[in-house]
Structure 1
Amino acid sequence: MANVRTIVYKYGLLALFALIVIFFFAALPAFGTVQNLYVILQSVAVTAIVALGVTVSMTVGGFDLAVGSTVSLSVMIVAAAQIYYGLGVVWAVVLGLASGLLVGLTSGALIVFAKIPDMLATLGSMFVYSGLSLILTAGKSVSTGNGYNGQAARGNWDPKLLWIGGGTVLGVPFSIILALVTTIVVVLFLTRTRTGRILEAVGNNSRAARLAGVRIGRYRILAYMISGLLSALGGVVLVARVGRGDIDVGSSYLLEAVAATLIGYAVLGANRPNPLGTVIGALFVGVLVNGLTMFNVPYYTQDFIKGTLLVVALVVSFSKIFNTQQKED
């Protein structure tokens, strides 16, 4: 019986993923096409990038709730830089990414210096920067020809920016390639670098890390800055894909990124934040949403289904029913 529970614990989520893919493939002929595969991967790209940031914050024992507002802020800054002020693509992207670093720095400083618990600090940052993203554009979406406060727009979308979201390299959408490269970089950073290993040590046992001479505060701030940077990168990809700066567009990515990260806990029984599991979790959610959409399942039921999937993954990861590594109280 213990062996069965161990197998379910380690491989249950992957088996469920495979069964869902096989079912959709058999029931929906259009599901298995290369074109639909690209649609799934493009929809997952932003979620995966943002979720990797959440994973880094969870590696140090934290939890970044500000990722959704960071996406929104980055989207609005890039859009405003291009349309309102006519700045080039380099400046627009740099300003968008810098906003993510600012959000991460703010959250980290609140946690380390003000001693505010992670979730409360990032919750505060979430509201502050969500509001700031609205203030920057007077609460209006940014689109072609749409100026600020009655003034004429000074610029337009740079084709180079739009290429980030819609361009291809050898037939493969660039956003997918960017998400793959980001995944590889985060995996190598956390597993192959001294800094990455210290981040994991801080999350596993911060007291032991402090006694070993690690400056805990610096690494916690670094983790949140990386999380903010990746969230902002997701925002850049998103605005480049849709060619429009919609208000509060990043709010849905908080739930999806957190879901992908926590589902990743159940991949191969990792029971901890891990970037590969996070990406698989994002793919799981993306495939599920795509298949349900092709089945014409109402959109308002999809959050319920995604939430149910997340609960199942958490039960597999943390419940003593399957996780035989959990100690009895």
Structure 2
Amino acid sequence: MNEVVSKQTNRGKGLRPVLGFLNDWGIVLAILALVLFFATTAPTFLQGTNLINILRSISIVTIIAIGLTVSLTVNGFDLSVGSTATLASSFVVSFFVWYSLPLGVSIGLALLLSLSVALVNILLIVWFKIPDLFATLATMFIVEGVAMTYTGGGSISAGMPRLDGTPTFGTIPEAFAKISQAPWIIVIMLVVVAVTHVFLSHTRHGRFLYIIGGNPEAARLTGIRVNRYRALAYLIAGLLAAVGGIL
């Protein structure tokens, strides 16, 4: 009996490295398997044009998901990132078309105004201690309604009058249109991924986020300002959601 138990224990110990490897790299292996499958079944899959189209199509979602990942490091979850992206998109185009603002001012204002969503989330979650899923679910619907009300329930295009009927003469700058095209949108995505990786894995502040997500009470006892870093995580999530919306 003892020999059977010993064998099972040794077998379990032998499987631990394999299970740990699959836990860390399982998603990457699955993606590589999919790439291999499509490369063998569709010869045109690995052509440069197709790969660029794939990277371009995932760029916006990747940037927003990176921000969501930062909120996950503190054991949180921001459901309002999609609505924040919608709000940022509505703001930046309206600044061009309705108010004829220059490129830098329009993007800067859109980012700043969209960050107000993150500030509301921080107030509800960090200050009032409302569970993040409930708080961000509420802000998701509220912000979506604000965006729809602001645009009149539709999209904004060049020559579209304001909601009160005032004619407009603003246009979308050519430089702004280019950032959503390859290769610029892909470059922006790669920069965001690289910077976030370095921040989370190779800086003290990124490590603090992981520590807070693992055990906030232990983090507090070691002197880490838990509320400040939780607020930072939601601020980054909101900022990257706004960037995705602008793109």
Q: TM-score, length-normalised on structure 2?
A: 0.88
Q: Which runs of 5+ in 2 are unaligned?
A: 1-10
Specify the alignment match of 1:192 in structure 2: 202
Distance (Å, rounded) in 2 between the aligned partners of 1:86 and 1:34: 38
The percent identity for this pair of structures is 39
Q: How far did 1:33 drift?
A: 1.1
CA offsets 1:174-217 (integer angstroms, 9 cap, x no match): 11111111111111111222222222211111001111222221
Match of 1:177 among 187, 190, 194: 187
* Equivalent of 1:202 in 207, 212, 225: 212
Conserved? CA contact 1:101–1:226, under 8 Å: no
Conserved 8 A contact 1:70-1:99: no
1:133 aligns with 2:133: no
Q: Using the TM superposition, give the Cα deviation of residue 37 of structure 1 relative to its aligned residue in structure 2, in angstroms.
A: 0.4
Alignment match of 1:163 (pick from 154, 178, 183): 178
Is structure 2 residue 236 aligned with structure 1 residue 226?
yes
Residue identity in the other structure for 2:87? L
Instruction: Please report how far the alpha carbon of residue 99 of structure 1 lies from its aligned counterpart in structure 2 after TM superposition.
Output: 2.9
Partner of 1:236: 246
Report the residue type matching 2:77 in the other structure. F
The amino acid of 1:228's aligned partner reads G
Deviation at 1:88, TM superposition (A): 0.9
1:11 & 1:186 partners in 2: Cα distance? 19
Partner residue, 2:134:
120
CA offsets 1:201-255 (integer angstroms, 9 cap, x no match): 1111100111122222111111101100000001111xxxxxxxxxxxxxxxxxx
Query: Does residue 27 of the first structure (1) align with residue 27 of the second (2)?
Result: no
Return the letter of the residue paired with 2:171.
N
Give 1:5 deviation, angstroms.
4.7
SS at match of 2:75: coil
| CA deviation string 1:104-141 (max 9, x = no partner) | 11101101111100111111111111111111111121
| Distance of 1:5 and 1:235 partners within structure 2 | 38
Paired amino acid for 2:113: S
Q: Unpaired runs of 5+ in structure 1?
A: 238-329
CA 11–115 in structure 1, closer or farther in 2 if over 3 Å, else same:
closer
Tell me the amino acid that sits aligned with residue 230 of structure 1: L
Counterpart pick for 1:79 among 90, 93, 98:
93
- How many Å separate the matches in 2 of 1:113 and 1:14? 37
The residue correspondences of 1:284-323 to structure 2 (distance < 5 A) are: none
Q: Please say if 1:14 is aligned against 2:28.
A: yes
TM-score, length of structure 1 as denominator length:
0.67
RMSD of equivalent CA atoms: 1.6
Distance 1:12 1:208 in 2: 30
Secondary structure, aligned partner of 2:156 = coil
| Equivalent-residue separation in structure 2 for 1:11 and 1:99 (angstroms) | 38
Instruction: Tell me how far apart the structure 1 counterparts of residues 190 and 143 of structure 2 sit (CA, whole Å).
Output: 28
Larger Rg, first or second structure (1 or 2): 2
* Whole-angstrom distance in 2 between the partners of 1:90 and 1:10: 40
Equivalenced residues, count: 232
Residue type at the aligned position of 1:22: L
